[in-house]
Amino acid sequence: MIQIPRSIVNGIVLQARAELPNEACGLLAGKDAVAHKRYGLTNADASPEHFTFLPAEQFAVLRSARAEGLDVIANYHSHPATPARPSEEDIKLAFDPNILYIIVSLASVEPVVKAFHIRQGVVENVVVEILEGN
């Protein structure tokens, strides 16, 4: 399970909509299974079908999170027109077994946010609990 404050979920959705038609991406920092902070990153691919973090931005987030005593616990990206399921490429490029992979789909009117562990090509659904009032 991962717990994400509503404000962070809203921030992901706003970023995803702002970056249409391309995929948006970023990182969540937190403690254990609770997200505390969202970092929107640049999609270096500027593509509607895939994303790549800019390494310099990614390292800056790692430093900033550590400085605040937080860990990077998840990465996220948007699927502008497809469901919130990891694509073949998402699975292939999921190198970190310790973090969660969050996908927000804008394919329907109501955004859908799902989280996954992806380990050695095996995808496991993870429950997302949205913390209201945060």
Active site positions, annotated: 23
Helix (H, G, I), strand (E, B) or coil at 9: helix
Shortest CB 90 distance to Zn ion, Å: 4
Query: Binders of Zn ion: how many residues, by CB under 5 A?
Result: 2
**Rule CB under 5 A: is residue 52 a binding residue for Zn ion?**
no
Pick the closer one to Zn ion by CB: 5 or 116. 116
Applying CB under 5 A, which part among 7-15, 58-66, 90-98, 124-132 lies near Zn ion? 90-98
Query: Hey, what are 47's tokens?
Result: 């593509």
Closest CA to 74 of 3, 123, 124: 3
Rule CB under 5 A: choose which of 45, 85, 87, 91 binds Zn ion. 87
Judged by CB under 5 A, the chain residues 19 through 38 that form the site for Zn ion are none
User: Which region, left, alpha or beta, applies to residue 46 given φ > 0 means left and ψ of -120 to 50 means alpha?
Assistant: left
List contacts with Zn ion (CB under 5 A).
87, 90
